[in-house]
Amino acid sequence: MSRFKNKRNSDTIPVISYEKCIAKLSDDGKRKQSVADHCKIVGAIAKALLDRLPKVVRKQLPDGVAALAAMHDIGKVSPGFQLKIDRENVSKNPDLVKKPIESFESKHAVISEASLSEIIKEKENQKELINWAQVTGAHHGDHNEADSHDCDKYGGIFWHLQRKKLYEHLEKEFGGVPVENPTLESISLATAITCIADWLGSDEKYSFDNLSHDSDKLNNLASNILDNAGWRFPNIKKNRTFESLFGGDIKEPNDLQKALFETASEPGLFIIEAPMGMGKTEAALWAAYRLMENGYNSGLYFALPTRLTSNKIHERVSPFLSHAFGEDTYVRLLHGESWITELGKGGREFSPSGSWFEPAKRGLLLPFGVGTIDQALLGVMNVKYCFMRVFGLAGKAVILDEVHSYDIYTGTLLDRLVETLLRLHCSVFILSATLTQNRRKDFLIKEDKNRNNNYPLMTFRRGNLDSSSIDIQRPVSQQIEISIQDKVTTKIINDIIDRASKGQAILWIHNTVAASQDSYRRLVSAIPENDVKIGLLHSRFPSFRREELEKEWISLLGKNGKRDSGAILIATQVVEQSVDIDSDYMITELAPTDMMLQRMGRLWRHKRENRQIEKA
């Protein structure tokens, strides 16, 4: 516990001038960097980064952010930090060494915020502008409440005056702090800029010796550091057609895709409710392309509920972005096990920017990503480095798929995320086959005056305008015959085998892994050897094996699958979302309505001319 606590001027505390205060020591302790020099380096990198940000992001940041970044470490001009980092230098001041280090605060970010708040208060005389000081207080990932700028544990008034001199020194180089009232979003963006510049400016592989007094050389080095780290934003290829973006068998957009593309003339919120197989994913991607092409958005993040669905959509989004931006376009996969998938593809640790963006908290900083929804939700939660995720999403087209699958807790966070994204000038696309009317109202905030509850439906809200909706032409419907049975009898097993032997693709979905394994064993023992292909797919397979099985069955039962004979796949809920499997006949255990509809989406999913059955 600090001996001085929050008292002011209880004793004279010896002072070291800011010019002699140390900010960094090399790992071997031989090289030292002064606080003033380090602040200049970080300010120069922040300035260079601001200059290369996309316009949609840069316009959300006022002038003065580079100055804030430069001033991030003025709190290192304090007895607590100097006693901690450089006892040798402090030993030249014996009166200071006599003070127990426990008497002082060593968290320099807290001291930076306390002093900068007071300086802004003195210079600008506007209470709201003091909040900009939070940028310096949070640049190590979290925020702590600061005490008075001149309390003894920060060194008292005389140390504060040294910090003020450093502020004035940096102000000559970078100008003053912003004079616009901050918002939560602008503070988050400025903190992220500061944090990134500090990370890069602390990298020991670069030599900053004797650069602080040569602005041209320092600015050139700052630009090179950003290049080496991979801070480059790709240029979009203009006037791409729908066919050139998606290729394959998709030649022309359908009515849903045309309607969304025409509606997405500027950023906003777009909700698409349509059955499985109507091309919601392609609709959102094509609309996002239009917004990026016209400069409204500068990147893309596609968020899904699970790792499996993220992996599958990543395989579809990557070629789309390669067609839109170039073959070498990198789409980061973001979820808890994404490193396994990346490792299987060879990783990017030896490519330019590969290693710098590798940590999870930096993943969203890349222009393009596909991953789980939690990666984005962390931006609106009180967690360390939440501001980094906010910055990573700012100005992007964000696609939120399968939103019907979230519980009330995640759904509440999702509401907050959508509100934040819209304030960050993002375009938000919400995709669902089974969205409830109340859930749609939650997202819209301003309800559609026409209260259109038709289906399929596209509802949108741009800027501060009221929401509007457009009816989408229904696809050709399929009549599905449903038979409800109490239990699986020998007769049903024989019927499944008979259908498969006639060339039909059978999908049997269970609610538990144990039940699926039991049915698999039952069928294997009943089917003559090599008569029909039979497989099992559930979540307990090792990740690599599960991915192999998914690819195997998608190649057989997917849109372009080659079916030479019948097949039976026994699976759990893993096949419900974003897995492109098309069956002729389905058996499923009873489940909640939205899950049942998702399962039905795997029945007669694609048009086929050679089905061995007349109706589903």
The pLDDT, as a whole number, for residue 128 is 82
Structure tokens at 547: 């991915």
Question: Is residue 606 included in any domain, yes or no?
Answer: no
The pLDDT, as a whole number, for residue 11 is 57
Q: Is the model more confident about 85 or about 269?
A: 269
pLDDT over 90 at 72, yes or no: yes
Mean pLDDT for the chain?
A: 86
The band of 522, judged by pLDDT with boundaries at 50, 70 and 90, is very high
> Mean pLDDT lowest for which of 130-144, 245-259, 555-569?
555-569
Residue 228 has phi, psi (to 5 degrees) of: -65, -35
State the total domains in the chain: 3
- Give 87-155 as a DSSP string: HHHHTTSHHHHTS-GGGS---HHHHHHHHHHHHHHHHH--GGGGGGGHHHHTTTSS------TTBGGGT
- Give 328-370 as a DSSP string: T---EEESTTHHHHHHHTT-STTSTTTTTT-SGGGGGGSSEEE
Q: Is the model more confident about 534 or about 479?
A: 534
Element housing 86 (H / E)? none
Helix %, strand %, coil % of the chain (to 5): 45, 10, 40
pLDDT over 90 at 226, yes or no: yes
The band of 601, judged by pLDDT with boundaries at 50, 70 and 90, is confident
Share of the chain above pLDDT 90, in %: 52
pLDDT over 80 at 466, yes or no: no
- Give 209-238 as a DSSP string: TT-TT-HHHHHHHHHHHHHHHT---PPPPT
The band of 434, judged by pLDDT with boundaries at 50, 70 and 90, is confident
Residues 286 and 414 in one domain: yes
pLDDT over 80 at 197, yes or no: yes
The pLDDT, as a whole number, for residue 351 is 43
The answer to whether 212 and 37 have CB atoms below 8 angstroms apart is: yes
Residues 328 and 454 in one domain: yes
Domain boundary among 229, 259, 285: 229
Residues 128 and 43 in one domain: yes
> Mean pLDDT lowest for which of 233-242, 253-262, 587-596?
587-596
Mean pLDDT of 67-75: 96
Stated pTM of the model: 0.87
- Give 30-85 as a DSSP string: --EEEHHHHHHHHHHHHHHHHHHS-HHHHTTS-TTHHHHHHGGGGGGSSHHHHHHH
The pLDDT, as a whole number, for residue 536 is 95
The pLDDT, as a whole number, for residue 238 is 96
Share of the chain above pLDDT 70, in %: 88
pLDDT over 60 at 349, yes or no: no
Residues 355 and 462 in one domain: yes
The residue whose two tokens read 């372009």 is 560
Residues 86 and 206 in one domain: yes
Exposed e or buried b per residue across 545-569, where buried means at least 16 C-beta atoms within 10 angstroms of its C-beta: ebbebbeebbebbbbebebeebbbb
Q: How far apart are CA 541 and CA 516, in angstroms?
A: 13
Structure tokens at 516: 């699926």
Q: Is the model more confident about 368 or about 608?
A: 368
Question: Is residue 485 included in any domain, yes or no?
Answer: no
Residues 353 and 430 in one domain: yes
DSSP-derived pairing of the beta strands 427-432 and 397-400:
parallel
Structure tokens at 262: 């025409």
Residues 596 and 522 in one domain: yes
Question: Is residue 10 included in any domain, yes or no?
Answer: no
Question: Is residue 615 included in any domain, yes or no?
Answer: no
Mean pLDDT of 225-237: 92
Domain that holds residue 315: 245-471
pLDDT over 50 at 251, yes or no: yes
Q: Is the model more confident about 40 or about 92?
A: 40
pLDDT digits (tens, 9 = 90+) for 283-306: 999 999 999 999 999 999 999 998
- Give 408-476 as a DSSP string: HHHHHHHHHHHHHHHHTT-EEEEEESS--HHHHHHHHSS--TT----SSEEEEE-TTSPPEEEE-PPPP
Residues 309 and 354 in one domain: yes
The band of 320, judged by pLDDT with boundaries at 50, 70 and 90, is very high
| Cα 380 to Cα 56, 185, 519, distances in angstroms | 20, 10, 43
Other C-beta atoms closer than 10 Å to the C-beta of 165 total 16
The pLDDT, as a whole number, for residue 446 is 59
Residues 55 and 187 in one domain: yes
Residues 280 and 419 in one domain: yes
Residues 150 and 108 in one domain: yes
Q: How far apart are CA 16 and CA 81, in angstroms?
A: 12
The gap from C-alpha 247 to its chain's centroid, in whole angstroms, comes to 27
The pLDDT, as a whole number, for residue 97 is 62
Q: How far apart are CA 154 and CA 76, in angstroms?
A: 10
Structure tokens at 255: 């009515």
Q: How far apart are CA 122 and CA 132, in angstroms?
A: 14
CATH number at 573 reads 3.40.50.300
The pLDDT, as a whole number, for residue 324 is 97
pLDDT over 70 at 447, yes or no: no
Q: How far apart are CA 429 and CA 433, in angstroms?
A: 13
pLDDT digits (tens, 9 = 90+) for 558-578: 877 777 788 999 999 888 876
Residue in 409, 410, 359, 403 with CA at minimum distance from that of residue 271: 403
Per the document, the length of the chain is 616
The pLDDT, as a whole number, for residue 409 is 93
pLDDT over 90 at 272, yes or no: yes
Question: Is residue 111 included in any domain, yes or no?
Answer: yes
Other C-beta atoms closer than 10 Å to the C-beta of 19 total 14
Q: Is the model more confident about 181 or about 102?
A: 181
Domain boundary among 173, 195, 229: 229
Question: Is residue 440 included in any domain, yes or no?
Answer: yes
Residues 400 and 530 in one domain: no
pLDDT digits (tens, 9 = 90+) for 28-38: 766 788 999 99
Question: Is residue 240 included in any domain, yes or no?
Answer: no
Question: Is residue 317 included in any domain, yes or no?
Answer: yes
pLDDT over 90 at 205, yes or no: no
Element housing 587 (H / E)? strand 585-588
Strand partners of residue 567: 505, 533
